[in-house]
Every structure is written in structure tokens, then in C-alpha cells.
Amino acid sequence: PLVMILNGPNLNLLGTREPAIYGHDTLNAIAARSATHADTLGLTLEFRQSNHEGVLVDWMHEARARGAKALILNAGAYTHTSVALHDAIKAIELPVIELHLSNPHTREPFRHESYIGRAAKGVIAGFGAAGYLLALDAVARL
Ligand code: DQA
């Protein structure tokens, strides 16, 4: 079964971006660990990142067209702003797992609203890079 992990804006800077909040792992390191873990779970993983909202929407449509089992989405700041990503989740009719390295509820008030969470099947947040592996475990159990 195919699973896509999509990462939104600024996540390409992981490793150097506010490490006290997001940790020291690079996105490439997380991608490699996720690929290994997906293998052990019998899942085929595609791991991508874009800073562009519309590209993320296109990839979500692609996930549906290719019959993905589920989508794991760390939408970055678009989590808190994007009706388009919310609507894409509704449109593709795939289980979407909202993912965050940090726990947005412990942070600024503008991070407390999630347009993703209103449409997602479930949420994993606050466990740092390990959250990517936890999200894959969740997909395997769907
Ligand atoms: C984030 C949390 C968001 O609030 C923030 O805008 C990000 C990263 C996380 O993984 O903790 O870019 O999605």
C-alpha cells in the first residue's frame, strides 16, 4: 500500500530552523528513517516537501488518483491558514493524519486553530521527529 508524507513551508530548513522547537534532525534524515520504518510496516512511502500551497493541493489529488491508503500531512504554517488544504482533505476522501513536530497548543494562540484538524482523521503532535514514525504506525493500523 502507498502512503504519502507531505511537508509544507519551511520544513526544508529543519535541522537549522529554531532547533529548540523543532530539533536538530534534517528533513532528509527524517525521510530516511521514515522510509526504513515504512519498509518494516510493508508500506510504500513517498516523502515530499513544498513551500507552495497549490503544489501541496496537487500532490493530495495525486495521492487519491494513485489510490494511496492514507496521507500524512505536516502542513507547517498552512495548518493555521489554509481553507484550500482543508477542502482538499474533504475532496480526496482519504484518511489524513495531521502531523506536527511541536505541539501547537502549547504555543502562540494563532497556532491553536487548525484547518487541517477540522478534516483530518487524527492528529499526532509534540513528539518531534518520532511523530513521523508514529504516524506511519497509525497508517499501518487503519
Ligand atoms: C509545525 C507547527 C506549525 O505551527 C508551524 O508553522 C510549522 C511546523 C510543526 O511541525 O510543529 O511550520 O507544523
Q: Is 110 contained in some domain?
A: no
Task: For residue 122, give the nearest of 77, 70, 84 by alpha carbon.
Answer: 70
Q: Which helix (H) or strand (E) holds 125?
A: strand 122-125
- The pLDDT, as a whole number, for residue 48 is 98
pTM over 0.95: yes
> How many CB atoms are closer than 10 A to CB 76?
21
Q: Is 17 contained in some domain?
A: yes
Confidence of residue 101 (pLDDT cuts 50, 70, 90): very high
**Percent of the chain beyond pLDDT 70?**
100
DSSP 14-63: TTTS-HHHH-S--HHHHHHHHHHHHHHTT-EEEEEE-S-HHHHHHHHHHH
Q: Is 89 contained in some domain?
A: yes
**Catalytic residue from among 37, 78, 86, 100:** 100
Count of the separate structural domains present in the chain: 1
Q: Is 106 contained in some domain?
A: no
Q: Is 142 contained in some domain?
A: no
Q: Is 16 contained in some domain?
A: yes
- The pLDDT, as a whole number, for residue 133 is 98
Rounded to whole angstroms, how far apart are CA atoms 95 and 89? 8
Q: Is 7 contained in some domain?
A: no
Q: From the CA of 76, how far away is ligand 1's center (Å)?
A: 4
Please report the sign of the dihedral spanned by the C-alpha atoms of residue 92, residue 61, residue 126, residue 113: negative
Q: Is 88 contained in some domain?
A: yes
Instruction: Look up the domain containing 16 and give its range.
Output: 12-34+44-50+81-99+120-128
- Strands of the sheet with 96-100, listed across from one edge: 44-49, 2-7, 70-74, 96-100, 122-125
Average pLDDT over every residue of 21-46? 97
Residues 14, 34: contact at Cβ < 8 Å? no
Average pLDDT over every residue of 88-93? 98
Q: Which helix (H) or strand (E) holds 71?
A: strand 70-74
Q: From the CA of 66, how far away is ligand 1's center (Å)?
A: 27
Q: Is the CB of 10 under 6 A from ligand 1?
A: yes
Confidence of residue 61 (pLDDT cuts 50, 70, 90): very high
Average pLDDT over every residue of 18-25? 94
Q: From the centroid of its chain, how far is CA 5?
A: 5
Say if residue 102 carries a ligand binding annotation.
yes
Confidence of residue 60 (pLDDT cuts 50, 70, 90): very high
- The pLDDT, as a whole number, for residue 120 is 98
